[in-house]
Each structure stands twice: as C-alpha cells, then as structure tokens.
A and B are shown apart, each in its own frame.
Chain A
Amino acid sequence: MKTFIIRRLILLIPIVFGVMTLTFILIHAIPGDPISVIAGEQSRQLTPEERDRIAESLGLNDPLIVQYVRYIGNLFRGDMGMSIATRAPVSYEIAERLPDTLMLTASSMFIVILLSLPIGIISALKRGTWIDTVAMTTALIGVSMPAFWFGIMLMLLFSLTLGWLPTVGQGKTTIDYIKSLILPSVTLSMVLLGLVTRMVRSSMLEVLNKDYVRTAHAKGLRNQFVILRHELPNALIPILTVITGQFANLLGGVVVIETVFGWPGIGRLTVNSVFRRDYQVVTGAVLIFSAIVIIISLITDILYSIIDPRIRLQ
C-alpha cells in the first residue's frame, strides 16, 4: 500500500508538469495580450511603444521559452508569479478563493448525498412502479437544465418572491454564510444528483437481487427494509467512492455557478483570467485544480482497494 501511494505520488509529478505545460502553451496561443485587454477595458489607447514599455516591465517581451523556464524556476522556489491585472501574487489570488470553492463543492456533495439516498432507495424498492418513474425523473430534471438558467430561476423564487435567501454574494455571519451557500450549492448539486441517484438505485437493486435476499423474501421476511438495514452499508461504499470520483466534475461545474451567484471562487478566477490573458493566474489556478483532482482520484483508488480487495493496487 505504501509503495503504491508513493508510486502514485511520483507519477503525479509528470502529470502536473504536463498540465502546466499544456496550459502555458494554450494560454499563450490565444490571440491578444493582457496589456491591450487591460487598457481596452478602459478604452485607453496605448501606442505600440506604450504597450511595449509595460510589456517589458512585466517581462512579457522575452521569448516564450525564456518565460517558461523562468516560470518553472520560480515555481520550484514556491513563487507562482504575479497577476498582470491585479498586480497581486498569484498565490494570494488563489488562496483567497480556493476555500470558497471547496466549501461550495463540499456542501453540494452533502446535498447530493442527502437527496440521492432516499430517492434512489425508494425507487429501487418500488422498481417499475410509478413511484420509481417519478423519483428518477425528479432526480434527472435538475441535471437536464443549463445551470445558469436553473440558478437564476431559483434566485427569482427563493430570493425575490419569497425573500428567504440572499441573492448574490457571501454572508458574513455564520448563519448568513450558510444561507448564502444554499442556492449555489443546490444548483451545483444538480450536476451530480441524477448520476448518484442512478448509482444508488442500481446498487440497491443489486442487493435486492442477491439470492439470500430473495430467499429471505420467499421465506416470508416480507419487510425489505429489514434486509436493507443490513445490506445498505455494503451497497453504500461503492456509491461513496463514485461520489468522491466525481469531485473533479463538480469543480468543473463551479465556473458558471460562481458567476451567477457572485461566489468568489477559483472557477470564476480561472475563466476571467483566461479572458484577461492573465497568464500566470491561469497557469497557477489550473495547476492547483489539477493537483486536487489527481489527489482525490488517488484517494478514490485507495478507497476502492480497501472496499474490494480483489482490486490490487499495483
């Protein structure tokens, strides 16, 4: 196990390196330069000399390969560089936002678990009935809507019409914070709800189809809930691993939702920085993002092997 983890951690390095290089190439391949964008946001005309002077001061005039080597060198010293738009360190920009994004994804996970278990179990128990149909349709409806539209619909209903929840931004006190977290996390949880409910349902069906369960049923142990109580934990473990495996997917889904709800997260930062050609912020944010994804997938793999010893870690 130990060697497996070490091996995987070593493997992480080339992947992160690859991600970083690809990001670096992609972001520089996009037409446009940060200085024109920043000046343009202000409709200021910069003469070519002006642009050149600012570019020089930011080190943007050096050949790409020089910038790349310098970036890697700084990275090894723990310096992720500076944002061109805000002149703040990239590590500051990321550190300010990462906890917010993690909070949002974690609370969406919580909502997914909270909703998918009952819906999935009920629809498995009532398989083929109209209850099954209604339950599964409910679980799928959220994922079938474009997230930004669904989010605004929720906001119209719960914030404007009913006045229960705040609209945009983050609450300051604990209670306000939780309130402001509800709408974005519900919207985000829809990304996964359909998938996880489906998983719960089929795991349950698997359990219900097992011979001894059928036998018990045949013997007159009519209450399936009794069986469920014993079997549920076993059925849940693969579901949980699937959920952790979907963490990356959730992180991807935050871009739009953070924008709609004004949530100060890393997804919004990344996309805005792509638009601003803020090279080092994009590279840094993607780097952190992919490291999280890789580490979570490592944890998932370890979980798998613990649950199912047949899967050997090699």
Chain B
Amino acid sequence: MAEKVIKLNVGKEKVAKSNSTSLTSITWRQIKKNRLAILGAITLLLLTLIAIFAPIISPYNPYETNYSSVKKPPSAEHLLGEDELGRDVLSRMIYGTQISLLIGVGVVAIAMTIGVPLGAIAGFYGGISDQIIMRIVDILMAFPFIVLAIAMVSVVGPGLLNMMLILGGVTWIWYTRLVRGMVLSLREADFVVAARALGASNRSIIFRHLIPNVLGVVVVQASFSVAEAILASAALSYLGLGAQPPTAEWGAMLSSAKEFMRTLPVMSIAPGIAIMITVLAINFIGDALRDALDPTLRQ
C-alpha cells in the first residue's frame, strides 16, 4: 500500500539522492525525536518479548480444552475468559503473538527475497529481462490481490506456511516495482560507474552496490507490509481460508469469536485490539523511517 508513496518520491528523484547515505546512517536522532515511533518501537519490543517468552508467561496450555467450562466471561482464574471449547483466551492471545508476528515477518521476508533481486535485475539489465519481469508484474498488479490469494490458497491447500508463501508470492511485485525504479535511476550514478571501471562484475554491482543503496526505502515498504500481511491473514481467516485450527492465531480467533460477539464480547475484542495495537505500532515505526529517509522532511 505504501508502495505508491515511495514511487512518487522516486519520480522526483529524491530518494536516489538521499540514498547515497545508507540505512545505518538514517539518523537515530531523526527517529528518536518522533514520539510515535518510540511508542511503536516499545510496543513492538514488548510484543516480541511476549512472543519469545510465551511458554513461560502463558497461564495455561492454549490448546487444552475443557468442555465442562465453556464460553465463560473473564474471571480471576481466566483473565480473558474461556472460549467455546473451554480454552483459556489469554493464553491463546499470548501464543497468538508468536504466530501473528511470524506471519508478518515471514510474508515480508518471502516477498523481499523474490521481489528485490528481480527488481534490481529488471532495472539494471533492462531489455528483455526487464520486459519479461515487468509484464509479469503488470499482470499481477492488475489482479485483485485478495482474489488471487484466495484462489492460490484453494489450489495449494490451507496452512500457516502455505498462507505465508502465498501472501509473499502475491506481494513481491511491490518490491520489484520499487527497486526497479530506483535502480534505474542509480544505474548511471557515479559510484556504479566507478565500480564498473574497477572491473566489478554485474552481479557484484547489483548485490554489493545497488541493493544496499535501495535497502532503506525497501525497509520502509517492508515495515508497512508486515502490518498489511497481518491484516490480510485476518481477512483470509474471515473467509475461512486462514490458519488451521486449533492454531492460536489472532485472525482465526477473531473470526471464530464473531459468532459470540453479542454474548461474549471479550472473545472478539481481545484479538481485535491485539491486531490493532500491533499494526499501529508497526505503522508508527514505518512512518518514522520514511520521514527520516525523506530529506525534505529533515529539519
């Protein structure tokens, strides 16, 4: 989604200039001035800690059913109540952190692995390879993203790993377009010409010089995509194609709790809020990164 924003910057050839500074030198000063970014970073850190220490902090086994005590509102023993199979909602929320973060990061990692090199190749070599890659991108771009995901899940079958592969497999085009545009404008930049004069191979120019230079913008896009992947997995769960039960995944929990929205609101509010907080935190960080990269916004 953020792809268009960055593309605009590329059009104005601002990013290209700013990118002579690498990601590491994006000033910490810039980011730390941003209150929301700090808030986002702290939240994300907390969520990561929760995910890592889930087995320790979780009060119950998130998969253990108890049919004698189902659909219970919050109580002292079960702070967020018990679900339709008598499982502890809080424990499922805690374990859900692992899975939701995994989905977000996994999807983006897959998409970047495919999209970034292809974009660099298309931009750097141009010609036939550019034509082929970009026509594929055009076709996929014209597809309704969610319909493509639904069709592919139906073809390869459900499951967490498949869902990540598919979401990654339909979003890599964002990176390809982004990276191609930037590489195109950097292709004749001084440092590339210099590297070539020194006898560097195309491969080493792409991977040693070009990709590191575009990584900053890619990371911004990636941060927004993490947020989107989490939401997309929730949408797939709503359509009945998400994580497989009994997996404690927020999107799946939310869509199965929909039935109990009126009688047991906490069951759907908890995962709903959790998704919201996570996505919001990631968006704050993405915003800050983007601001930091955009020279016109530096003061």
Q: Identify the A interface with B (CB < 8 A).
A: 14-16, 18-19, 22-23, 26-27, 29-31, 128, 133, 136-137, 140-141, 143-149, 152-153, 156, 194-195, 198-199, 202, 205-206, 209, 238, 241-242, 245-246, 248-249, 251-253, 255-256, 259, 267, 270-271, 274, 282, 286, 289-291, 293-294, 297, 304, 308, 311
Verify if B147 is at the interface (C-beta below 8 Å from A).
yes
Instruction: Contact check, A195 vs B1: say whether CB atoms are below 8 A apart.
Output: yes
Instruction: Contact check, A26 vs B299: say whether CB atoms are below 8 A apart.
Output: no
- Cβ of B5: which chain A residues have Cβ within 8 Å of it? 195, 198-199, 242
- Besides the contacts A30-B151, A256-B235, what 7 more A-B pairs have beta carbons closer than 8 Å? A18-B135, A146-B231, A146-B251, A146-B272, A209-B297, A286-B143, A289-B142
Q: Identify the B interface with A (CB < 8 A).
A: 1-2, 4-5, 8, 11-12, 33, 35-36, 135, 138-139, 141-148, 150-152, 154-155, 227, 231, 234-235, 238-239, 251, 254-255, 258, 261, 268, 272, 275-277, 279-280, 283-284, 287, 291, 294, 296-297, 299
- Cβ of A308: which chain B residues have Cβ within 8 Å of it? 11-12
If A16-B142, A293-B142, A294-B142 touch, whether A271 touches B8 (CB-CB below 8 Å) is no
A29 to chain B, nearest CB (A): 5
- Cβ of B258: which chain A residues have Cβ within 8 Å of it? 148-149, 152
The 4 closest A-B pairs by CB, nearest first: A290-B142, A144-B279, A146-B234, A18-B139
| Bound: A26/B291 CA distance, A | 40
Instruction: Contact check, A152 vs B154: say whether CB atoms are below 8 A apart.
Output: no
Could you write out 21 A-B pairs with CB less than 8 Å apart? A16-B142, A23-B143, A26-B151, A137-B36, A144-B280, A146-B235, A146-B275, A149-B254, A149-B268, A209-B299, A242-B8, A251-B144, A253-B146, A255-B147, A259-B238, A271-B147, A271-B239, A274-B154, A282-B147, A290-B142, A308-B12
Total A-B pairs, Cβ < 8 A: 159
| Bound: A242/B146 CA distance, A | 21
Summarize B's interface: helix, strand, loop or mixed: helix
B1 to chain A, nearest CB (A): 6
For residue A145, which residue of chain B has the nearest CB?
B276
If A148-B255, A199-B5, A238-B8 touch, whether A252 touches B145 (CB-CB below 8 Å) is yes
B128 to chain A, nearest CB (A): 15
For residue A22, which residue of chain B has the nearest CB?
B139
| Bound: A31/B4 CA distance, A | 36
